[in-house]
Every structure is written in C-alpha cells, then in structure tokens.
Structure 1
Amino acid sequence: MMATTNTDLTEEDAADLQFPKVHGSNFDVKNEDYTRLESVNTSCLCCNTELSTPYIICVVCDINICCLCFANGREFLNHKNNHDYSIFDDNFVLFENSNWTAREELILLDTLLDYGNFGLVDRQLPNHSLREIKNHYDEFYLMKKGSNLLPNFQPLQNSIKNQMVPYRFRLNDIDDPPRYNPNSVGYHTMAGYNAARSDFELEYDSNAEDLIASLNFKNIDRSDPHYELMTNLQCAIISSYNRRLLERQRRKTIIRNHGLILIRKTIGWLHRYDATVTRRVYGKMCRFMQFYTGTHFEYLMEGLHHVAMLKNEILRLCEFLKKGIRSIPSAKLYLHLKQRYEESVNDVKMFQNNTQFNWKVKHSIATSALSSNIKKRGLFSPLEVLGLPGYEKLTSKEKELCRSVRLVPMSYIEFRDILVNEKFENAETLLISEVHMLLEHRKAQNESAEDEQEFSDVFMKTLTYTDRFRKFKNKETISAVRNLLMQKKLHKFELAALANLCPETTEEAKSLIPSLEGRFEDEDLQTVLDDIQTKRSLQY
C-alpha cells in the first residue's frame, strides 16, 4: 500500500481533473501507517462495482473508491474530492525471503478457502509449480515464517485425541455394506434399505416431488396486480413440499435411532443379558424402546446388567461368609481347592465304575474284550448355580438338587410351580381336550389383564401339544363323551385313555389299554367306541 500527499504531482493531477486545490494540508505520510487500515468493503461505495487493484482509499473517510469514480471526481456521503487519499496496490512482496506478491498470496488463500484444492491454485498461478505452492503454504502459513501477525488458534480440548496405534486395529473388522440380491431373504429383511447407498430404494411419500415437478416459476413484475397472490401460492407449495420432506426425514431418524432396519439384530444383542437381567425382564423392557434412542436404551439395560452382576457378587460373598471365609485371597484358595476336590471325586467314580479294575468281579476273556469296546457315559460335574437367575428363591436343599441334576434355578421354579399348583392337587383325570381348554382360558385371561405376563416355554409347548392331539373341540362334546364313559364301570385312567386315543375297534382298544381285557364284552365295548366316534363326527 502506498500513500501520496498534495505535492506538485498532486497539484498537476488536480489541475488536469479540475479538482479544487487545498493548500497547507497536514497529511504526513511518515506519521501514518496505512497497513493497518481495516476496511471490510470489497466494492466501491459510490458505484457498487467490485473493486480490483489498484483502487483508492480515502484517508479521511476510510472508504474504498474505484479508479473510475476517483478520476471523475465523484462526491458522495461525507466524501469530498479534495480529501487525502492513498492508492491500494497488491503488486508488492508481502513476506521477507519470498518472491510472491501480495496478489498471489490473496489468490492462494481465496482459492484454498473456496475449494481447498491445490490443483486449482496451480491453475490460478501458472508462474508457480504445484510443489512450490505447497512448500510456500507450509513454510509461510503453517510454520508461520512469514509474519508474527498471523493468528494463533488455541486447540479445543475435544480436538486433542490420542494418537492412533495401527497394530491395535484389524482391517478384517471393517466389513463392506451388505449387497443382497433382489428377492433374497436378506434383501427382504432390510425392508428396502440399501446399505451401500445409506438410503431406501422407495422413499416414504415418494410422490412429494410431484408438487414442484410441474411448478413453473416466472418472474412476475411487482406492478402486476396478481404479484402478491402468485408469490403466496408459490411459497405455500414450497412450504408444503418442505413439510413432506421433514416428515420423511423424521421417519428416517426414528428408524436410525431405534434400529428398526434389522429387527433380529436389534433383538439379538439382548441375549447377552439372559444370565443377569433374564429374558422375562428384558422382554417387558422392550416396550420402552419407543421412548428411548438405541444408545439410551442400551445404557438402561447395561445399568440393570451391572445391578444383577453386583447382586450376584454379593450373594457369592455371603456364601463365602457362611463358610467362614473373610478375605478375597482365602476365597480364591477355597475355589481352587474345591475344583481340585471335585475333579478328584470324578476320577474316583470313574475308576470305581470301570469293571476292569474291580477286584470283586471275575471276568472272562470274552467279557473283558466286550467291556473294553463299550463306551460308558461320562460323568458330569455339578452345575455351579450360584449367581444364576432365581438362585436367591431356592432353599438350601433345592440349591443342592439343582446343582446335582444340573438344572437352572428358573427352570426348576417353573416346574415346581406347575407340579405343586393348588388347582391340580385334588383334580380328577383330565382329557387332553379339557387341558387345552384350560390353557386357552388362562392365556385369554392373561391377554386381557392390564399387567400381561410372559408365559414360560413349558406352558407354550404344552399348549401346542394339546392343540395337536386333542380329539374334541368344544365343551358340549367333551361333556357328552365324559357322561357316556362314566356310565360304564371304568377306571379314571381308562376313561381318560379311551377319550384321548379314540380307538375304532375293540382289538385296538384292548391293545392300547390292556386292563379292558376280560372286563367288557366285545359288543358292549364296540358300542361305546361307535358312540364316541359318532359324537366326534358331529362336533362343530
């Protein structure tokens, strides 16, 4: 940047341009530093044209003026054509030890700011090679060898990351997006989602673009009487289209936050909590997934998981305390010795069960040859039930039973509740059809209740079994068959067996129920069987 005062040259210029002369100007070049002018205007304030170097800066008003307006002596705002001025030119070397002009520096920074591409900078600066441009940028800007006035940026705390160690990561862990063939099982499970494009094949509300597809935007003159109406209509159409796009994006956000693309994969990770939270609990917790994002729901499940782990650890420490163990090293020693003891017991049992080493039994050569080829069933070590779901609900004898028969406590509790249920303690012999009706009634009650409970696998398998093998489908037929059989002198077991099996001939009935042999005449028994078949065929 260069400064010029009202010297003889200025007077000659003013005479040629017919400028008014101002004598005795107190403008001193030596006392002013025009390199500190902070004008943000990049256009001429008089004609609003984009400025290109060289251009004029009014020192008094601190405004930019193009050379054409300056040459014509334009006066505007508070600016007068007799104000002191300076000429701004970028054709000078900016940094020491560099042959780059300020104009080239601006081209470099502007191009990098807009595109961030050194290849485009090379096109804008044909006098410099690509390597020279990179070296110049690194040396004078990144390493700040050009000037101490370049800004210093304090790094953010979040931007400081640990240096990545390559050997801790495996490239095999990074899989390509799945690309399933059309009409395949994997393709249908993705619900039309294309993982490679990270988008859906068919968008929600796919006809939204039809709103603006045929819209014809015309430049309407403001003087047109329909200008406001047409503008409002166009804005309304665009607003409607934007609302439909927002709804489409909202649904995508819900799908992403809740993991609704692959339901099996989303539910599969819950099996991690089978031993702590239990399937029954996290099955009910899944109802709250709609109120949480995937990350927050995982936080909730991890919290319950760690609570269960802490509870199991407390139970384990209580067991150690009952045995008189009061320190962690003593507990580790106890577990180690316990494991060795169980292994020794198994070895002894295997040795005792091996007939080759039993001196009490005398074997022949053939017997020993045969016994050597027989594979004995291996002995199983007791199951460690401590910390498993339902362990705290067992008594000491029940814990030992589950441990010896290798039965999970929750399964034992389900079997116990079924066998010791008060409703079946004094119950009569039930038909399979009657059992199915009871189970269906219990299921209907549970579905209509406010606090719906999840049935066990035993209940659901029993329901499926009775539905498959029941012979009668309604209550009236069951009552008629039961009344028919109760008129005969049949045992409860025989009555239930005849109603469940429904044999067609007397020979079949006697072979299935041997106790009927000799107690009934074949004609009487055949009459009963025919009546059962008749009632079965007439049921609806």
Structure 2
Amino acid sequence: MDRLGSFSNDPSDKPPCRGCSSYLMEPYIKCAECGPPPFFLCLQCFTRGFEYKKHQSDHTYEIMTSDFPVLDPSWTAQEEMALLEAVMDCGFGNWQDVANQMCTKTKEECEKHYMKHFINNPLFASTLLNLKQAEEAKTADTAIPFHSADDPPRPTFDSLLSRDMAGYMPARADFIEEFDNYAEWDLRDIDFVEDDSDILHALKMAVVDIYHSRLKERQRRKKIIRDHGLINLRKFQCARTYDHLKKTREEERLKRTMLSEVLQYIQDSSACQQWLRRQADIDSGLSPSVPMTSNSGRRSAPPLNLTGLPGTEKLNEKEKELCQMVRLVPGAYLEYKSALLNECNKQGGLRLAQARALIKIDVNKTRKIYDFLIREGYITKA
C-alpha cells in the first residue's frame, strides 16, 4: 500500500466515490489496476468489498492520504496545501488571516514556514523557474504578446477614454472581457466517465471541439488587434486628423471644378459678377441673395460642345445630352454623380436639399442633375 497525497483539501474537488457517489474524505482508496479514469472508493465501500464491472475486490489498491510530512516533520502535506491556498486567498504577508484560515498553525509558524521553504529555498525557487519557463515555451506559439506600457493611462470606469479603449487595460496588457467571454460555461458541467455511451462520448467531444474553435476565434481577433495596432489611441487620433484633411481636400477640389461653371458667363461681365456673389453666399451657408440674370435681350447660351473634353467617352448618350444642355463639362459631372451616388448609398436615399449642400453649384443645375439621376434610377429619393 502506498501513501499518496491528494491535490486539494476541498472534498468537492475530488471525483465522487464510485460505490456510493459521496464526496471522498481522506483517507480513501484508489484501485491500482482499474483506469483510466481512476477508480476511487471511500473506506466504507472498500470494507464492504464493492465491485463494479471490471473492478474486483481483490485488486491491488493505494491509500490516498496527505497525512504525512513533506518539507517539515511537524507539517503534513495537507497543511502544506492549506498554507498555499490561504496565501493565495489572503495575500502574501497577511499572516494573521492565513493562520485564521488554516486553524492549525499560528501566525508566526505560518510566516516562518512559508519564508523558509517557499521563498528562501533555492531548490524550490529553481523548480518554480523551470516550470514557468517550460510553460512559457509551451504556449509561445499561441500566446498573443500584448505588452504593457511604461506609463499606461488609467481611465476611470465608464469614462469616454475607457469606452474608446474597448476595455483594454494597458497596465495589465489584457482586456476586461474576452471575446465570447462565456465560452467556458458550456464546459463547466461536462465530465468524461467510463460509463458514457458512444453517442454521449461523441457529443461531449463535439462540445469540446466547438469550444476549441471559439478559442481560435478569440485568438484570431487578438491577433488582428495586435497586428493593426487597434489599441493604440495615437493611431486613432491620426485617423481623425486624416479624415479632417481628406474632407478639406474634397471641398477644395469641388471648388476648383466650379471654375467650369464660370465659363458660360465669362463673356457677360454682369452675369459673371452675379454668379461669383451667388457662390460666395452658398459657400457661406446663406441663401443666394442675387438672382441669376443675364443682360436683357441676350439669348440663352448654346449647348456645350463636348468634343475633345476629358471624360466624354465615359458618358452614355443621355448623360452627354444632359451635359450639353446644362453646359457642364464631363469631368465635373462625373465627380458630382459619384458624390451623389455615395451619399445616397450611405443615407438610403437623397433629398434635393442634401444634393445642393453636397455639390454646391448653381441650384438650377443641381436640380437638373438630381432629377436626371432620379429619372435614370441612379439614386432614389429619401
């Protein structure tokens, strides 16, 4: 008979007795011939000669107990484990609380024993280091290296900065909540036992496989965050700056294309001045105060000749006719069309007022372009 230490003081952490299904209290019996999984019996079932399937009462056995010294003659293995659990629960240095939880040792005894055997013991320290290095080497290929910052921000809970960081804690280089945070709940009640049928065993294995796939997705998302620096707030600030500059460039580009509108009024100085004042009002967000008029008696401008103008080849016949009648160069029309289509897709529809605010040209031309795109089915009304 061997005397072997158990792994926990809590009876609920051990598998139940195979005879009466009660919690196992030390000492208890382990069959040396059955398993895996291990076959455990309480002393009462063992003395009754309990037999089940392949297990027979004359099998060799082991007595499972932690009532023997390991590091110190006056400390049992059970007390060693109780000490480690108490230090984990109460924190290192809180020796009075540790002693209160253990109940069998004083504050001074707990501190002296822990410092001697778990802190100042070079053999034990080197063993822990080797175990740590082995574990790090084992998980090196799958771990996602989020590195903590030297002076990380520590936003208060539910603050704007905390929400922007999506629960990432730079001081700990980890997240408050994982993706699919409750994936482990599906495994908490699964127990693989010898009595499982083939179908039940296959179902349990399927649940484990599903859990593994969810873990892979969790790691994949962490990898995306790491590779693209999505937790770097400075990069987000640069993105906002870029968006602002891009919007400014777009506005300048649209203003430059408006030069084509001046061409039809260039021979009429009065109409040109009216057009410039009108555009100034539009750019300032005001209602145009100057109606567009030309010199009395002047005839309407002739249709625009598109021959040789860039972008003409990209237009269909109806679009060419529109550009000729509205006197709009093809390049400007294509830009206005693209802007209106993009805004319509974003908003799910487009109103005339939105179109006028977006392209900022003569309101009559905007109306004709807007009506044409509606009529041809390029955009829809909001």
Instruction: Return the structure number with greater relative CO, CA threshold 8 A, min gap 6.
Output: 2
- Bigger-Rg structure (1/2): 1
Q: TM-score range by the shorter chain?
A: 0.3 to 0.5
